[in-house]
Structure 1
Amino acid sequence: MPSATHHDVPREVWTSEEGSMARETAITRWPKIVQNMVDDLEESLGQLDTPDQIEEGRRIQATLRIIKSEILQNKPLHPLIPDGRSDIQSYNAQLESFGNITWHNCPWLFAECYLYRCVQTLFARSQFWRNHDIFARQKLSAFVASHAAVEELCERYVSLTGVLTEAVDEESQRLIFYEMTEIALWGNATDLSLLSALSLDQIHSLQGKQAIRDGQARIVSNDMPEAWEYLKSHRGRRIDIVLDNAGFELFTDLVYALYLLDSRLASAVKLHVKSFPWFVSDVVPHDMDVLLSTLTDTALFPCATHPSVRALTERLRESCKAGLVAIAEHPFWTMGVDFQEMPTVAPELHQDLLGSALVIFKGDLNYRKLVRDANWPHTLPFKEAIGPLCGGKGSEGTKILALRTNKADVCVGLTKDTLERVNKEAPGKTWVRNGKYAVISFSDGVGV
């Protein structure tokens, strides 16, 4: 297939494509996700004794059952009911532009965003359930289950902090950047055995270097060297992180933010969150408070009294209080459009991110939105796939670092040799679906 250009954009992935992950998601995963919402509400309702709130919860639950049934029966998607937020009009205009689409024959990315937005209207239009996070229990239990990995990462980072504040040589700085970035990359995999120990001695040892090499073999497109060269010459400015999952991944993102500050690569870190419960485990503002309080809750968290955990938790609290680590939310992150629409749909957000030294996009969904979830050739350069975001003639682009474990069919930036290798190692497209392979993709904001 010839290299695509900005004018030769393939269609986004649809749920009607046989053998695609999109189709499997529509037929099996979406109904299960909605059923889990029904079950969560059931648990919440069982803890209430206020008749009006129970009655309203039952109505929401009944509507969720209808949504599940409509997905299973491949019914058409219907216009969203206004709930006071400005994005409903955009969703409904998009929906109309696609024509008569059904759950099993629709653009995957749009329909998945539509599903979570549709669910949010049920809560936003309610009296008693407006602030209910239907995924809160799931997020908390997953974080509590990761306590051993939290303790391990705290120990490693606290032992490294002294080194970061000293004048270490540039090669050591580079190796630490690689290691910390890989921890942020694999942050939703709580098995930290993937990584070498975070100490200079072990990073420089053969064992440490081998662990880094082993991890990088599964990074099928790796722009980390280019990202490091860029960042070391643009240090001391704000860095933004567009977050993905709550729980342990959010914890690794916070540790990464501390690292960026401690190493003086960043003067401040802004964390971008979703405005309401989204894609099951995405971070909403309240998740930050939950995480910090859980880290000190000895009844919930077995390692809360561990000295390294206490030390790091206190550092995080101080950084947030001082404004060095800040939370930001914007309605754009929960719209049904891809990120290439940002300059026109959310120009003030786009301008803000242009002022950042680097915008780090975490996770699979953010990656899909960066590259339009289109059926690109896997060998297409990342810069071409992100279109206007990479900049062009006379226009500056956003400086982007995408850290993504592969969990959907779209993936760009591979060499032909790497593509041949992974197709042999993980045939049948499993390398783009199983979360065991990843990409680190960078754009310096200078157009192609």
Structure 2
Amino acid sequence: MPSAIHSEPPREVWTSEEGSMARETAIARWPKIVQNMIDDVEDTFGQSDVPEQIEEGRRIQATLRIIKGEIMQDKPLHPLSSDGRPDIQSYNAQLESFGNITWHNCPWLFAECYLYRCVQTLFARSQFWRNYDIFARQKLSAFVASHAAVEELCERYVSLTDAGAFAKTDEEAERLIFYEMTEIALWGNATDLSLLSNLSLDQIHSLQGKKAIHEGQARIVSNDMPEAWDYLKSHRGRRVDIVLDNSGFELFTDLVYALYLLDSGLASAIKLHVKSIPWFVSDVMPHDMDVLLSALADTSLFPGAEHRSVRAVTERLSDCYKNGLVTIAEHPFWTTGFDFQEMPAVAPELHENLLESTLVIFKGDLNYRKLVRDANWPHTLPFKEAIGPLRGGKGGEGIKILALRTNKADVCVGLSRETLERVENEAPGKAWVRNGKYAVVSFSDGV
């Protein structure tokens, strides 16, 4: 029986909390991220022969150094300068609502969003750097470095396609393939495919295959995959949305998952939600789709481009993209400082659109944190309670949510007491919520 809904949700995680990942991020990680930005700008203007671009780049670089220094010295966060986008006003209103906050004493989730939005104002207000993606170089190099994992995943997908795995067979095989493909999307931010059970269709049908899949789910500490499968199989053939996380190999696994949903008939169309500005280093922007497809077809960038399986998957993805089976959607809400529980009030048109989707799949750690408000919930609190107004109920419809998240921040809900005891013994000192080796698959049916 679910526990009673908390009338007063706990406060969101702050960077002042000793021993928290939030504090570690503010003190150590943010300065390194900004330093990488400084280096990237220098690499770019170092290749330019346009004096005005170089001078403007140096000014941007100087401001980035100031931001890095303010973080390290625990200075107050200041109101953002307008760059023509309407979200600046809401950022500054939120900032004012928190009172006098500093980098080492502020709400972690808001401050991270504020940091990336602050950096974007530097480029948006420039002349020669207006459309610059400061993370593009990192994103492409990381994807190219994952070519072996891409080739392996393509071979697996093509072998399953050739074997007729995605045609309707018996229900048990369909369910196990759904589990396997969902795990690929779940662990997509790791290029180590040894995390997966790597089964052929014949093996999936066997008892050994079923055992391997279930054993591979031991690190999924809260697993609603059975409920998600029961829901999706009874609502097959409609639109599925995916709120994307990282570009590179993770985007590729998400696209393979989209192909699977289409090829199996579980979805008739896929809408991919991307960020409209450079965000959290590696988040997907619209152009990242074209970059990925171009890289997959370029042998000078991608050694495996000539492999039959890579060509087959690339052509299938390109066809789905061109024919509108896979579409890309931007919305400014995804890069605001608001958590997703504020979506009905802040972005009602986006909320209404997502209500029309059969299922909205939220990928990754940041999207999970925004779903549950990044609050200090008990780990045993049910996921549907942690997402608040997004869950529906009381006569109102909620978004149908499937959250696929590897654990890289302290907030995590939906565990049984037995599982919590087990993982705290296996990975003590909060390692199980921080090291990315454990995960959750959380589902809400919107009622």
TM over 0.5: yes
Distance 1:49 1:145 in 2: 29
Deviations 1:190-248 (A, max 9, x none): 11112122421122335433432232100000000000000000001000000000000
Distance 2:93 2:121 in 1: 17
Contact 2:166 2:260 in 1 (8 A): no
Distance 2:215 2:77 in 1: 45
Contact 2:26 2:104 in 1 (8 A): yes
Q: What residue is the counterpart of 1:136 in the other structure? A: 136
> Gaps (5+ residues) in structure 1?
none
Give the secondary structure class of the aligned counterpart of 1:82: coil
The alignment status of 1:387 with 2:404, answered yes or no, reads: no
Q: Give runs of aligned pairs for residues 121-270 of structure 1, distance below 5 A.
A: 121-162=121-162, 163-270=164-271
Q: What residue is the counterpart of 1:412 in the other structure? A: 413
What is the root-mean-square deviation of aligned Cα atoms in Å? 1.1
Q: What residue is the counterpart of 1:15 in the other structure? A: 15
Q: What residue is the counterpart of 1:82 in the other structure? A: 82
Q: 1:406 to 1:4 in 2, by over 3 A?
A: farther
Q: What residue is the counterpart of 1:375 in the other structure? A: 376
Distance 1:4 1:56 in 2: 56
Q: What residue is the counterpart of 1:104 in the other structure? A: 104
Distance 1:151 1:99 in 2: 51
Distance 2:298 2:89 in 1: 43
Give the secondary structure class of the aligned counterpart of 2:271: strand
Give the secondary structure class of the aligned counterpart of 2:304: coil
Distance 1:377 1:166 in 2: 42
By how many angstroms is 1:392 displaced? 2.1
Distance 1:167 1:205 in 2: 17
One-letter identity of the residue aligned with 2:436: G
Q: 1:5 to 1:165 in 2, by over 3 A?
A: closer
Q: What residue is the counterpart of 1:39 in the other structure? A: 39
The alignment status of 1:118 with 2:141, answered yes or no, reads: no
Give the secondary structure class of the aligned counterpart of 1:66: helix
By how many angstroms is 1:8 displaced? 1.9
Contact 1:196 1:207 in 2 (8 A): no
By how many angstroms is 1:5 displaced? 2.3
Q: What residue is the counterpart of 1:28 in the other structure? A: 28
One-letter identity of the residue aligned with 2:381: L
Q: Give runs of aligned pairs for residues 279-294 of structure 1, distance below 5 A.
A: 279-294=280-295
Distance 1:420 1:120 in 2: 43
By how many angstroms is 1:166 displaced? 3.2
One-letter identity of the residue aligned with 2:62: A
Give the secondary structure class of the aligned counterpart of 1:303: helix
Q: When the two structures are superposed, what TM-score results if normalisation uses the length of structure 2? A: 0.98
Q: What residue is the counterpart of 1:343 in the other structure? A: 344
Contact 1:244 1:366 in 2 (8 A): yes
Give the secondary structure class of the aligned counterpart of 1:427: coil
Contact 1:247 1:291 in 2 (8 A): yes
Q: When the two structures are superposed, what TM-score results if normalisation uses the length of structure 1? A: 0.98
Q: 1:328 to 1:83 in 2, by over 3 A?
A: same
Contact 2:355 2:399 in 1 (8 A): yes
Q: 1:166 to 1:394 in 2, by over 3 A?
A: closer
Distance 1:4 1:194 in 2: 36
Q: 1:4 to 1:50 in 2, by over 3 A?
A: farther
Contact 1:267 1:324 in 2 (8 A): yes
Q: What residue is the counterpart of 1:438 in the other structure? A: 439
Distance 2:58 2:3 in 1: 53
Q: How many residues align?
A: 445
Q: 1:4 to 1:177 in 2, by over 3 A?
A: same
Distance 1:435 1:139 in 2: 19
Distance 2:216 2:296 in 1: 28
Q: What residue is the counterpart of 1:421 in the other structure? A: 422
Distance 2:208 2:99 in 1: 57
Distance 2:76 2:167 in 1: 61
Q: 1:46 to 1:246 in 2, by over 3 A?
A: same
One-letter identity of the residue aligned with 2:55: E
Q: What residue is the counterpart of 1:325 in the other structure? A: 326
Contact 2:197 2:216 in 1 (8 A): no
Deviations 1:320-369 (A, max 9, x none): 01100000010000000000000010000000000000000000000000
Give the secondary structure class of the aligned counterpart of 1:120: helix
One-letter identity of the residue aligned with 2:411: V
Give the secondary structure class of the aligned counterpart of 1:304: helix
Q: What residue is the counterpart of 1:63 in the other structure? A: 63
Distance 1:160 1:197 in 2: 11
The worse-fitting range, judged by mean Cα deviation, of 43-52 and 202-211 is 202-211
Contact 2:167 2:264 in 1 (8 A): no
